[in-house]
Structure 1
Amino acid sequence: MNDFINLLKTKELKATPQRISVLKELDKKGHPTIDDLYNALKKENPSMSLATVYKNLATLKEKGVVIEVNTAEGKMRYDIYSKPHIHLVCQQCGSIEDVDYDQSLFEYQTILETNKDVKIDRMDVIATVRECSVCKKK
């Protein structure tokens, strides 16, 4: 909980109970859709509306605390952006796995910045696979 409060403070956001709830749910690493997130939050906070979830997600996205993960199924999924990482997305079962960046990706980012004369705030990398370790176990 303290980590969430500090994370919000570093992004100049108030640590509201709703934002803490959203981050706690996203921290479970399920990469939920907005509906999944809302349903999970509703169990904990029956009075929370879908509009509140949308509003808080939008604010957290705008400040770079939360990112959208675009999947082949067309539904946006959400994740906390605590550090650079790759999203490994399975086309077959839809699972999403977080994979740490290799040093070469940081080097590539530097090359891109130099070649394009830009400063990259964040690289969103999605690797799509036909079958993942979850599918192979079935």
Structure 2
Amino acid sequence: MYDVIQLLKDKELKATPQRISVLKELGRKTHPTMDDLYEALKKENPSMSLATVYKNISTLKEKGVVIEVNVADGKMRYDVYSKPHIHLICQQCGSIEDVDCDESMYQYQMCLESNQHVKIERMDIIATVKSCSLCPK
């Protein structure tokens, strides 16, 4: 788990109660949709509006703290980008699993940057599988 306060501080963002709540909920690694996130946050803080959740997600995305994970069902999912990782998505059950990158992924990024003469800010990698260990056998 990452330090929410430090993550915000590193991106020069104020650690507001709303941002802390959003990041803590995303830290549960459920990769929620906006509606799922709002419902979970509303249980903790009934006065938090959907507009507040959207505004905070937007700010956190702009600063690179949160990323959108685009899945086949068309509903954006959200995740904290505390370190580079791959999203493994199951076509059968829809689960999303975070998989840490190894050294070869960083080498690939450096190679890509060199070949394309660019500086990559962040690589968003999605790997899709037909079924996973969570699917019924």
TM norm structure 1: 0.96
Please state how far the C-alpha of 1:2 moved relative to its aligned partner: 8.8
Distance 1:94 1:133 in 2: 12
Distance 1:70 1:102 in 2: 23
Distance 1:102 1:2 in 2: 19
> Corresponding residue for 2:109?
109
Question: Cα RMSD (Å) of the superposition?
Answer: 1.3
> Corresponding residue for 2:133?
133
Unmatched tracts of structure 2, length 5 or more: none
Report the AA paired with residue 50 of structure 1: L
Report the AA paired with residue 19 of structure 2: R
> Corresponding residue for 2:76?
76
Higher helix share: 1
> Corresponding residue for 1:31?
31
> Corresponding residue for 2:40?
40
Aligned identity (percent) is 77
Distance 1:73 1:132 in 2: 17
User: SS of 1:86's equivalent?
Assistant: strand
Unmatched tracts of structure 1, length 5 or more: none
Distance 1:18 1:39 in 2: 14
Distance 1:105 1:73 in 2: 27
> Corresponding residue for 1:119?
119
Number of residues of Structure 1 aligned to a counterpart in Structure 2: 137
Distance 1:76 1:31 in 2: 9
For 1:90-101, what aligned pairs fall within 5 Å after superposition? 90-101=90-101
Cα deviation 1:20-77 (Å, max 9, x = unaligned): 0000100000000000000000000000000000000000000000000000111100
Please state how far the C-alpha of 1:6 moved relative to its aligned partner: 1.0
> Corresponding residue for 1:88?
88
TM norm structure 2: 0.97
